[in-house]
Amino acid sequence: MRRRLIALLCVTGSLVSGCGMLPGGHDRKTVTVWLMKDSASKDFLHRFTEDFERAHAELRLDLRIQEWTGIVEKVRAALKPGAADGPDVIEVGNTQVPLYADDGRLVDLTLESMRDWGKDKWLPGLAQPGRDGNKQYGIPWYAANRVVIYRKDMFERAGITRPPRTRDEWLADTGTLDSGGTQGIYLAGQDWYTLSGFIWDEGGELAREKDYEWQGTLDTPAALRGMDFYRRLQALGEGPVDADEEHPPQAGVFAGGKVAQIIAVPGLVQSIVRQNPDLKDKLGFFPVPGRTAGRPGTVFTGGSDLVVAQNTDDQFAATTVVGALTGAKWDTELARTMNYVPNKTSLAGAVADEDGVAAMAAGAAHGRATPNTPQWADVEADNPIKEYMTRVLKGADPAAQARKASRAITGKLAPDLG
């Protein structure tokens, strides 16, 4: 779900009357904003900064670009009371918000969300992780999620005239494509983000909170149905059962020319075409199909939220920046510039002319995020879901393996229950 290098410090203060000063010698209030590397292009941030400072003559933006590696500890340190030279506004991964909100070091933006920012239209996969109980801390900025990338020429040769719209159609079409040396789909055995979508579609969960404790729930009937669909789909190709989609990188496998479909973010096409230029005009996109034709499948939604540090010197100024970046004008512009999904379902039309982004937007409307608890990072660090998937795909009893994996998840989320 895309990123370009940028470093902007004191971006356009000189455009007004010198860095940090207003005409007449009045100081401008500086708002320090941490953004992640390649989340937005240099040109986009220049245009936003120029427009924002023109509209808010009393404010100056200091945009500082951060690396994803090591960012959690860096943000935690910056959010401590009394931290020197800390940011006012921070871009964080949507599923990272609970890591920071749990410490009570973020500003509650519920009022602004309801009164000014139209929270009822936000993508659920961005909005939900930014919430703690009834309080909204993370404000959705942009999203990206998986779609199906497919070979249009292979579909045509197989007599498939349109992309499938239901799971049953998808299985049937993939079975037809899986012949003559062609893999119907390349799906690695440990692609647990894709599995999560199938589980959610069935009404299941990876984990649930009960009586203030989290418990793994892969062993519920709904979650087992999701795993069963994954098993049937994965069998219509030669994806390794004991590896994820990056081992080997699935872009390279798809570029080999013997695969009809993969599940990935649309941006992966750039890598595929770079490795096999002959595929440039042969690739298409469709949303991951759902159980019925009227609703695309549920997908894991990645992306970023913006948060305001509790230790900011000027909460109003920081909130003003968040409102501008996430508002319709600049959020739409960011989506068009970077091929993202805008933060609201009502803005999906802004990217309708880009097939891959339009497919993402259709799925993002039903997107979800991982369980909203800071401890979920411990699950992903040594992920029992991957081992569970591999064992089932090798023929082990799904129910027994699901119970084992659920206990492991519980142990990481609520050690006293594990």
- 109 and 319 Cβ atoms separated by less than 8 Å: yes
Tokens (6 digits) for 152: 């249009």
DSSP string, 80-148: STT-TT--SEEEEEGGGHHHHHTTT-B---HHHHHHTS-GGGB-HHHHGGGEETTEE--EEEEEEE-EE
The secondary structure element, H or E, covering residue 306 is strand 301-308
pLDDT greater at residue 153 or residue 27:
153
pLDDT at 417: 54
Q: Which of 5-14, 309-318, 332-341, 391-400 is predicted with the least confidence, judged by mean pLDDT?
A: 5-14
- Percent over 70 (pLDDT), the chain: 93
pLDDT at 7: 33
Residue 8: band (very low, low, confident or very high) from pLDDT cuts 50, 70, 90 = very low
Quick check: 15 pLDDT over 60? no
The residue type found at 44 is: F
What is the maximum span of the chain, computed from C-alpha positions, in angstroms?
A: 77
Quick check: 262 pLDDT over 90? yes
Quick check: 14 pLDDT over 70? no
In terms of Cα–Cα distance, which of 197, 196, 157, 161 is closest to 179?
157
- 219 and 402 Cβ atoms separated by less than 8 Å: yes
Quick check: 274 pLDDT over 80? yes
pLDDT greater at residue 261 or residue 210:
261
Residue 23: band (very low, low, confident or very high) from pLDDT cuts 50, 70, 90 = very low
Model confidence, pTM: 0.87
Residue 18: band (very low, low, confident or very high) from pLDDT cuts 50, 70, 90 = very low
- 189 and 240 Cβ atoms separated by less than 8 Å: yes
Three-state secondary-structure class, residue 381: helix
In terms of Cα–Cα distance, which of 164, 171, 161, 152 is closest to 284?
152
Q: What is the pLDDT of residues 181-239, one digit of tens each?
A: 999 999 999 999 999 999 999 999 999 999 889 999 999 999 999 999 999 999 999 99
Q: Which of 119-123, 160-164, 211-215, 328-332 is predicted with the least confidence, judged by mean pLDDT?
A: 211-215
Q: What is the pLDDT of residues 297-306, one digit of tens each?
A: 999 999 999 9
Q: What is the pLDDT of residues 68-93, one digit of tens each?
A: 999 999 999 999 988 888 999 999 99
pLDDT at 155: 98
How wide is the angle at C-alpha 197 spanned by C-alphas 195 and 203, nearest 5°? 110
In angstroms, the CA 61 to CA 55 distance is 12
In angstroms, the CA 236 to CA 57 distance is 60
pLDDT at 133: 86
- 405 and 388 Cβ atoms separated by less than 8 Å: yes
